[in-house]
Amino acid sequence: MHILEGRATIEDVDAAIAELAAIGDEHGCTVQAFDARYLIGREHLERAIELADRAIERGENVARDRGVEILLYAAGRRQIDDALAMGVKAGEQDVAVLIDSLDAEDGEAEDASTEAREADAAAAVREALDLDERSTLGVEHADAALVRDFFDVSEAELAATDAELADVVLERVALLDVEK
């Protein structure tokens, strides 16, 4: 798994998404772009991938596209339209782009050829989006008010537990399986 971080200016969202999908197809990878303000860290995306792949393996996925299924889990939503709020929008923004591939035979993504495909896809994505190399991923970069609102985390909920916002968001992601 590769995660690219940076600032990008997206003029045409549909064209940008189509270009990322074409890069993914060319390199045998899932490429999914996120508005980085909604992400609380790398573990957020790792957990979303794990749960999306498990749902696909079990035939319980909502989306036909693996990238969209990952987006659904990252958003903690079953409705694609609701989850798309976490996607990129038109204009200048901080983004995180997930690049991940699966070995078609056993579901593993750890061999050298996979790493090379992901690295090549990452280079193509960085060029396509003209990403700078600033850090955009993590609790320190997330918009806490936006995240609390999106994941329906109240101040009272945070005050009632020792958990940090990141812990509550990861719980929401995991609870999506229970809610099905």
pLDDT for position 180: 52
The answer to whether residues 125 and 3 touch, using CB atoms and an 8 Å cutoff, is: no
Using alpha carbons, list the distances in angstroms from residue 116 to 80, 96, 159: 31, 20, 45
CA 163 to CA 141: how far, in whole Å?
Answer: 19
pLDDT for position 34: 97
2-179 classified as CATH 3.30.2380.10: yes
pLDDT for position 47: 95
- pTM metric for this prediction: 0.89
CA 146 to CA 23: how far, in whole Å?
Answer: 30
CB-neighbour burial class of residue 145 (10 A; exposed 0-12, middle 13-18, buried 19+) = exposed
pLDDT 10s digits, 58-95: 999 999 999 999 999 999 998 999 999 999 999 999 99
Using alpha carbons, list the distances in angstroms from residue 153 to 57, 145, 164, 167, 168: 30, 9, 11, 11, 8
| Confidence band, pLDDT 50/70/90 cuts, at residue 123 | very high
The answer to whether residues 149 and 37 touch, using CB atoms and an 8 Å cutoff, is: no
The answer to whether residues 87 and 34 touch, using CB atoms and an 8 Å cutoff, is: yes
Q: Average pLDDT of 49-56?
A: 94
pLDDT for position 113: 86
pLDDT 10s digits, 132-150: 888 888 778 888 899 999 9
Query: Which residues neighbour 97 within 8 Å (Cβ) at sequence distance 6 or greater?
Result: 3, 4, 5, 20, 31, 32, 33, 34, 125, 129, 131
* Token output for 10: 């997206």
Say which DSSP state 136 is in: -
For the sheet containing 91-100, what is the strand order? 2-10, 91-100, 30-35
Which one, of 43, 56, 37, lies nearest residue 3 by Cα? 43
DSSP of 74-100: HHT-S-HHHHGGGS--SEEEEEEEEEE
